[in-house]
Amino acid sequence: MNPYFETASGLARAIRNGRLTSQEATEAHLERIARLNGPINALVLVDRAGAMKAARAADRAVARAGATLGPLHGVPITIKEAFDVAGLRTTSSHPPLKDNVAAADATLVARLRAAGAVILGKTNVPELCADFQTDSPLFGLTRNPWDGERTAGGSTGGGGAAVAARLSPLELGSDIGGSVRNPAHFNGIFSLKPTEWRVPGHGHVPDLPGVTRAVRYMGTFGPLARSIGDLELALRIVAGPDGHEAEAAPVPVGATPRLVAGDLRIAVLESNPLVTVSADTARVVQATARLLAKAGAKVKRAQPEGLDWMRSWEDWSDLFQYTIQALQPSAVRERRASKIGSSDPSARSVARAARLEMAAFFAVLDRRDRAIRQCESFLESYDAWLMPVMPDAAFRHQSPRQPLAIDGVPHPYFFAGTAYNHLANFTGQPSIVLPCGSSRDGLPIGLQLTGRRWGEAKLLAVARVLEKLLPPCPLPPAFA
């Protein structure tokens, strides 16, 4: 067997059953990284010595009679560079942190280690995880393994490229505006954005080390992988409060139900009023809806009654801007307030939030409550809501200052790139991305399934049904 073509679950079974050692699996991944990582720049830190030491320890445990083996025992994985890994640098691609070495593991890294995972290294991110391309001022550009001229997404772009290129079977990422979902979509893999506060973020940057915690809304932390089974395995390892963040609730994930297509009621959104999707994306949405319907699911084009897409985007963007500007100097914020008349919705949002007006902030939270009620009520009638992740397949590398063109139509960059994935962050609902088709250029196109808050178990069951109807997770030709 080629270990790097296996899923994390498959590797764990092989190691547990003695068909493969952790050292063999780890060495195979390290060899592949050394051979293939260079052109795509997915991993920016490889801890060969630490990984092989952990793999040898994992093999000794397998050989010991009565040893307790975790669900990821001996499995090599990667970690988004923004998470603390003890003894390794954590910079979040922010130049002032270029020499920052983590003293301890982030909560989720510690949980993955306790489950037996072997950490191969860390993957590239844009500065402070604030872009849906990955071009780091410290580590350079990450390229899409399907086409090096195109983005791998962001901010978990390095992780998405690593999993797609079979440099890693499993990645730990984070998402406040699509950052585990758009890399999955662009690279042809799977990802899970859990319910807000399902998974704690202690040891993730931002927030900056030693600075007041400001990221308290909409930020989530979840896995990227090559199967729904791996997403579920990882979620059950990392979920639950850790005592550091009061918002994290002790809500059990619960058992995953067994579902078949005939059990399912699926709402479908092909395009929203903010940005019309590309013809390729619309075709994949339509084909996936037909696939589900042919298998017996009840499929209907629908969206929450009264949902104001522009209002929800503005409120999501404003809440995000309140978060990232809260600790910035007043002089910096005042300069941004002058952009209130911009034609770019993102610039207007920056300007609105720059004054940090508490009445406006609480009004955003009030409207957020309303949007949550609308979407939760809508999903009482459906098992999941199927929609695009991004308006198009992976675009060519470009400056964020330039418009993003969808089928030749230009849109403000940040606005277009968050037009579809913002809503699940704003409502805090879980969302799973599956690779569902491809563009005329052969680039992957993923779609997202969104479910009710705290409903990951059911959402995973729905996603399993769709996964069985789709072809296997695609492999970029250059990495076969």
Positions marked catalytic: 80, 155, 179
Tokens 């963040």 -> residue: 245
User: What Rg, from alpha-carbon coordinates, does the chain have?
Assistant: 21
CA separation for the pair 21, 411 (Å, rounded): 50
CA separation for the pair 27, 12 (Å, rounded): 15
Main-chain dihedrals φ then ψ at residue 67, nearest 5 degrees:
-70, 140
Cα 9 to Cα 6, 312, 317: the distances in Å are 8, 38, 37
Structure-block tokens of residue 462: 């729905």
Amino acid identity of residue 267, one-letter, is A
Three-state SS string across the chain, please?
A: CCHHHCCHHHHHHHHHCCCCCHHHHHHHHHHHHHHHHHHHCCEEEECHHHHHHHHHHHHHHHHCCCCCCCCCCCCEEEEECCECCCCCECCCCCHHHCCCECCCCCHHHHHHHHCCCEEEEEECCCHHHCCCCCEECCCEECEECCEEEEECCCCCHHHHHHHHCCCCCEEEEEECCCCCHHHHHHHCCEEEECCCCCCCCCCECCCCCCCCCCCCCCCEEEEEECCHHHHHHHHHHHCCCCCCCCCCCCCCCCCCCCCCHHHCEEEECCCCCCCCCCHHHHHHHHHHHHHHHHCCCEEEECCCCCCCHHHHHHHHHHHHHHHHHCCCCHHHHHHHHHHHHCCCHHHHHHHHHHCCCHHHHHHHHHHHHHHHHHHHHHCCCCCEEEEECCCCCCCECCCCCCCEEECCEEECHHHHHCCCCHHHHHHCCCEEEEEEEECCCCCEEEEEEECCCCCHHHHHHHHHHHHHHCCCCCCCHHHC
CA separation for the pair 118, 2 (Å, rounded): 18
Closest CA to 239 of 258, 256, 220: 220
